[in-house]
């Protein structure tokens, strides 16, 4: 296989510093102390690809869009060109994909988020070459991504057919104001595999009883780290404050300690006992690693984890997933966990 490999090196930088995306926010993200996320995830994928597909021919774009990472992982890649400047753009992604198509790749793998997926799909629109995303962004709603970097290698090594999948993206400015309205940007051909995620689905359900039960059992002295989304939003409402709908809020003993917190603000606010409260994304099942990178491995390791959801959402997704940027933590989180679905009721769900 001649595998094209393109990295968006700035994808995901805005997540842990509370920007909920990086579009037009690179300098602000850096000013807040953001670190690149996608290069590490690209390297994990390359290591797995090297193990699963030792005979693959890797065709990539110049540093920092793949070449250096590929060489560090032990590949001797073909590199037909590279970006013209030090700060990469969406145009660089489209140019890279076009060049790799010209070089005759059989499949195009990319590292980024939904915006990168849209750029890749646009550049592939006149070809039959399939694409597979390695999740590296903040927003990963599209159904063209593998569940994790390692899962991407498994899909590449085992898939037997492709199918048409949706590329979705949202308006990040509206997202920061609490509005999630995914827009269909493209339909792309994607390898079929068990570890390719579904599209994010939106929906509603009556979770008021669940929220009331959770709040009734809230303990004094415990710091609650309340994740994004409408389900956890019901808990915020029941606690008596207006939370950030797509951000992380920290609450203890009747007081909001931080609203729309960054990773560092969460860590500073934690106490002796801490609980992080999350709800899976509808249609995908992710509790960590999609839309909530502020809940970093350092945060999660200092907290107990409480998962809440509506019954309908659990019926729809079937299983829960994690992708925290820390494979060891992912392994610790996997297994069976109890998900609160009502005032008193809970359901056992498997985390994969």
Q: What is the pLDDT of residue 30?
A: 60
For residues 151-158, give the mean pLDDT.
95
**How many other β-carbons are positioned within 10 Å of the β-carbon of residue 272?**
7
Shortest CA distance to 11 belongs to which of 131, 105, 149? Answer: 149
- Has residue 101 got a pLDDT over 60? yes
Gyration radius from the chain CA atoms: 20
- Has residue 22 got a pLDDT over 70? no
**Cα–Cα dist 331/21, whole Å:** 27
- Has residue 35 got a pLDDT over 80? no
Write the pLDDT tens digit of every residue in 171-215: 655 555 555 566 778 889 999 887 776 655 444 345 888 898 899
pTM of the model: 0.64
Per the listing, tokens 């792309």 go with 188
For residues 226-240, give the mean pLDDT.
94
**Cα–Cα dist 19/10, whole Å:** 13
Shortest CA distance to 258 belongs to which of 288, 289, 226, 287? Answer: 226
For residues 40-47, give the mean pLDDT.
95
6: tokens are 């393109």
- Sign (positive or negative) of CA dihedral 22, 66, 154, 143: positive
- Has residue 21 got a pLDDT over 60? no
Which fold does the domain 2-191 belong to in CATH?
Rossmann fold (3.40.50)
Mean pLDDT for the chain overall: 88
Q: What is the pLDDT of residue 157?
A: 95
User: Biggest alpha carbon distance in the chain?
Assistant: 62
- Has residue 100 got a pLDDT over 80? yes
Write the pLDDT tens digit of every residue in 285-318: 999 998 898 999 999 999 999 999 988 888 888 8
Question: Hey, which of 86-95, 172-181, 273-282 has the most confident mean pLDDT?
Answer: 273-282
Q: What is the DSSP string of 165-188?
A: EEEEE--HHHHHTT----EEEEEE
6 strand-pairing partners? 110
Shortest CA distance to 12 belongs to which of 263, 329, 280? Answer: 263
């Amino acid at each position: 296989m001649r595998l094209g490999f393109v990295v968006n090196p700035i994808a995901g930088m805005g997540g842990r510093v509370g920007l909920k995306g990086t579009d037009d926010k690179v300098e602000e993200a850096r000013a807040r102390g953001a670190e690149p996320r996608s290069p590490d995830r690209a390297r994990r994928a390359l290591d797995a690809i090297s193990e699963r597909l030792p005979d693959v021919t890797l065709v990539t774009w110049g540093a920092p869009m793949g070449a250096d990472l590929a060489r560090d992982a032990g590949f001797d890649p073909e590199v037909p060109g590279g970006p013209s400047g030090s700060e990469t753009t969406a145009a660089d992604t489209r140019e890279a994909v076009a060049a790799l198509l010209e070089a005759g790749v059989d499949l195009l793998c990319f590292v980024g988020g939904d915006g990168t997926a849209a750029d890749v799909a646009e550049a592939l629109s006149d070809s039959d070459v399939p694409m597979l995303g390695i999740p590296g962004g903040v927003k990963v709603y599209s159904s063209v991504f593998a569940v994790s970097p390692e899962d991407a290698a498994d899909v590449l090594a085992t898939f037997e057919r492709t199918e048409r999948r949706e590329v979705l993206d949202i308006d990040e400015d509206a997202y920061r104001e609490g509005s999630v309205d995914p827009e269909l940007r493209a339909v792309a051909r994607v390898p079929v595999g068990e570890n390719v995620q579904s599209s994010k689905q939106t929906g509603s359900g009556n979770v008021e009883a669940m929220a009331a039960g959770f709040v009734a059992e809230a303990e004094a002295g415990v710091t609650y780290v309340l994740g994004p989304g409408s389900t956890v939003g019901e808990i915020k409402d029941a606690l008596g404050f207006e939370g950030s709908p797509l951000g992380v809020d920290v609450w203890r003993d009747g007081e909001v300690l931080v609203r729309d917190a960054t990773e560092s603000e969460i860590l500073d606010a934690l106490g002796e006992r801490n609980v992080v409260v999350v709800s899976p994304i509808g249609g995908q099942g992710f509790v960590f690693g999609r839309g909530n990178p502020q809940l970093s491995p350092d945060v999660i390791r200092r907290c107990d984890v409480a998962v809440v959801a509506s019954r309908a959402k659990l019926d729809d997704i079937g299983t829960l997933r994690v992708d925290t940027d820390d494979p060891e933590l992912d392994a610790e989180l996997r297994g069976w966990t109890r998900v609160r679905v009502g005032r008193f009721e809970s359901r056992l769900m498997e985390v994969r």
